[in-house]
Each structure stands twice: as structure tokens, then as C-alpha cells.
Amino acid sequence: MTQREKEIEGRILDRLKDGPAGLEIHNSTSDAESLAALLGQHRPSVIQDSSAWNLDQNFMLDVIGNMIPDIVLRSPLSGQNRIYIEVKDTEPLGYGTEDSK
């Protein structure tokens, strides 16, 4: 991760401390315009740069491999990971044929 990406990650985390309303969503396939629209009134647990996001190390290997996402938002109600954030500045997000496009 570049220094610029760490700065972007820090800004995202700062906004999450105040609530997700300030985190806008662009190019969405839904009507959601911010992270708050996806989360409602719930405040997720935030997991940053830690393998603690993956409760089953064999889960999602075909999608995520051994990657650790930059930020994971976990539901306080279900205990499930709901949103994965991988911070990129100029590098494309790409790991292989299983990638989301």
C-alpha cells in the first residue's frame, strides 16, 4: 500500500467515526448514495488491516485468496462482515479471473 493510499484509508476511518453519512457512493448498482443508506442506523464494527475479518480461514479463498482487506465493516447484529473496502489510488483492483469488475 502506498503512502497516498494510507492517507485515503485514514480519511475513510475518520469519517466512519462520525458515522457513515459522509461517505458517498458513486457508480452504485442501487439507489444508495452514501454508506449510511446501506447501513441504516446500525454502527458497524470496523476491522482495519487485520486477518480478524476472516472468521473461517478457508472461506472465500477463490475470491479473496490470502488478501487482507484494508477495511471491513461487520454487522453488530449478525456478526457477519457486510462491507469490504480495498483502498486504491492509481492501481487497479485486480487479483485474477475471480475479481469483481
Render pLDDT for 41-92 as a digit per residue (tens, 0 to 9). Answer: 788 899 998 888 887 777 766 666 677 889 999 988 888 888 888 888 887 7
Residue 42: helix, strand or coil by DSSP?
coil
Write out the H or E segment, with its range, that includes residue 38: helix 35-39
Sorting pLDDT into bands at 50, 70 and 90, what band is 101?
A: very low
Q: Are 56 and 48 in contact (CB under 8 A)?
A: no
- Please compute the mean of the pLDDT values over residues 22-44 and round it to a whole number: 84
Kindly list the domain boundaries of the chain, sorted by start residue.
3-85
CA 44, CA 23: separation in Å to the nearest integer?
Answer: 14
- Please compute the mean of the pLDDT values over residues 24-52 and round it to a whole number: 85
Of 75, 2, 83, the closest CA to residue 35 belongs to: 83
